[in-house]
Structure 1
Amino acid sequence: MDQKIINLYDDYTHLPLTRSEFIRRLVLITGSVTAAMSVLPLIEVNAANMKITGDEDLFTEKISYPGVPGNMEAYVARPKEDKKYPAVIVIHENRGLNAHIEDVARRAAAAGFLAIAPNALSAIGTVAANEDEARQKFQELKAENNLQNFINAFDYLATRKDYNGNAGCVGFCWGGAMANSLAVKLPALKAAVAFYGRQPAAEEVKNIKAAVQLHYGGLDERVNSGIPAYEEALKKNNITYELYTYEGVNHAFHNDTAPTRYNEAAAKLAWQRSMDFLKKYVK
């Protein structure tokens, strides 16, 4: 796949770029409307591409907890055995809670965690009909409310009998940025894992008490531009961290519903590193 097409799709999914403008630019790159339409299924996310993690050995449920301005809904998964578990908040991309992120939560549960995947859009009462609508609705969210709603997830955890009191988080893209923000704002957080997420301001890094693990795609110039300042601040403030850049792969390389950006080898390696890291610091 032409990297220019992948970069255009990345712009479309992260910038205020209308679908009509996206298609117009895609036609310019591919040379015709017919060619553009044939490329679309190859670049757009599709849950049919997902390798589903079974839940036969898991307990799953849908829950809600207080949010701003409305309640937050979330998907929960953990091993079936009724006991206390360390928790991991799984934070979605800028599409809200979807089948892919629920699957990621089940993967975390299969690794021995109480996984909770909140839906940021639920706080404004949104049920998006498709990926495009979900991304548009994200523009209606207020940053301060988003942060509070994910902080509230940890307050909710404290009410559960299957929680052992130790928690971390893992986030992807929009959720990766949120994972970094939670590391800054929550002193009790044990670990934060961010996949290709926007970095916090360098002056805020001194507030981090959690261990931090960062995953980036080597071709993701937009997000990667913030790496040097973040890493310098992590070193300056003696923060425990690990940083991995996967050469030759794109933004969203972990998302197996994104056919041209997903990279199986990098995704599996990054996920194993994430689980090993969380098991080390969130017990």
Structure 2
Amino acid sequence: MSIQRLNTESASTIPQEAFDWYDEYAHGDIDRRTFLSRLAAIGLTSAAVAGGLIPNYALAEQVSFNDPEITASYAEFPSPDGLGSGRGYLVVPKGGAEKKPVVLVVHENRGLNPYIKDVARRLAKAGFVAFAPDILHTLGGYPGNDDEGRAMQASLDKVKVETDFINAAKFLKNHELSSGKLGVVGFCFGGYVSNMLAARTPELIDAAVPYYGTPAKAEFIPNIKAPLLLQFGELDKRVNATWPNYEATLKAIKADYTAYIYKGANHGFHNDSTARYVEDQAELSWSRTVEFFNKHLA
């Protein structure tokens, strides 16, 4: 196990308290009016928020959906004990019917947005079959607006939501193109789901990469068998407060884990559609993710 801190500068000039308030707002701890009033009190306008904190998904495409090295489509999976049915974005490397390691990509708390789809395409470019479920499928899918997506996701039964992701993992592990080795990577809420899947379905998960995710419920953590690569932003107070106890349990069960804390980085530092993104940190964390999957899913 190792923990490393990276000395990299923030790419944003937005005051840190604005990032902290946005994190509270994005996770339902404060409402939009409170968020905007706090911004106004330090001289930030709603236009500044739109230009900096709120995602601009036009910036988030690193791999085009029509890239000749991949094939992107949609696939459905059964989830009768969950929300009823599931659907997600399936991206396959070009190369015929050759079986590949598979990676489940888990979105944040707002549904399958363009950034997460791009992450799936990046994994396919790296040689994995990637599948990104949309937990909002039974409500019509990601609505194209993060505020609306958050409200939709918050309305869903949390137990059934987790069951849907378990069923998505089963679907992908047993897919006709799967080599039988399954990884999971997730961001924010998806980081929690990555931790949860490793703890609740150790028979399914062969490697997990939670980005700034909270741990699974304490009673499930001792079940973890898969190696973990945990990625944190130093300034992410909410998630980082859960790490000491989680790490203590991982040590106690002798889990195979590595954690990186990226100095000066906020929650969401990998998301290249917002001002929280810092390219060198995000790219380094991603290269570690791909290397980790290559090692453990080969």
TM over 0.5: yes
Please say if residues 70 and 125 of structure 1, whose CA atoms lie closer than 8 Å, have aligned partners that are also in contact: no
1:96 aligns with 2:108: no
Provide the residue aligned with 1:60 in structure 2: 72
Please say if residues 70 and 124 of structure 1, whose CA atoms lie closer than 8 Å, have aligned partners that are also in contact: no
Please say if residues 91 and 130 of structure 2, whose CA atoms lie closer than 8 Å, have aligned partners that are also in contact: yes
The structural deviation recorded for 1:4 is 1.0
Provide the residue aligned with 1:24 in structure 2: 37
User: For 1:71, what is the secondary structure of its paired residue?
Assistant: strand
In structure 1, stretches of 5+ residues that fail to align are none
Structure 1 stretch 6-15 or stretch 198-207: which is displaced more? 198-207
Provide the residue aligned with 2:48 in structure 1: 39
1:10 aligns with 2:23: yes
The structural deviation recorded for 1:227 is 0.7
The structural deviation recorded for 1:121 is 1.1
- The CA distance in 2 between the partners of 1:230 and 1:16, in whole Å, is 22
- The CA distance in 1 between the partners of 2:73 and 2:215, in whole Å, is 32
Please say if residues 71 and 123 of structure 1, whose CA atoms lie closer than 8 Å, have aligned partners that are also in contact: yes
In structure 2, stretches of 5+ residues that fail to align are 1-13
Deviations 1:197-241 (A, max 9, x none): 011234422100111110000000110001111111111101100
The structural deviation recorded for 1:179 is 0.3
- Number of residues paired by the alignment? 278
Identity of aligned residues (%): 39
Structure 1 stretch 159-168 or stretch 172-181: which is displaced more? 159-168
- The CA distance in 1 between the partners of 2:18 and 2:30, in whole Å, is 14
Structure 1 stretch 14-23 or stretch 116-125: which is displaced more? 14-23
The AA in structure 1 aligned to 2:27 is H
- The CA distance in 1 between the partners of 2:112 and 2:61, in whole Å, is 17
User: For 1:141, what is the secondary structure of its paired residue?
Assistant: coil
Say what the alpha-carbon RMSD is for the aligned residues. Answer: 1.5
Structure 1 stretch 152-161 or stretch 172-181: which is displaced more? 152-161
User: For 1:94, what is the secondary structure of its paired residue?
Assistant: coil
* Counterparts in 2 of 1:268 and 1:158: CA distance versus 1, 3 Å: closer
Instruction: From 208, 227, 231, give the equivalent of 2:224.
Output: 208
Provide the residue aligned with 2:10 in structure 1: none
Provide the residue aligned with 1:271 in structure 2: 286
Structure 1 stretch 45-54 or stretch 118-127: which is displaced more? 118-127
The structural deviation recorded for 1:127 is 4.4
Runs of 4+ in 1 over 6 A off after TM superposition: none
Structure 1 stretch 67-76 or stretch 238-247: which is displaced more? 67-76
Deviations 1:96-119 (A, max 9, x none): 101111100011111110100000
Indicate the structure whose relative CO is greater, using CA pairs within 8 Å and at least 6 residues apart. 2
- The CA distance in 2 between the partners of 1:65 and 1:205, in whole Å, is 27
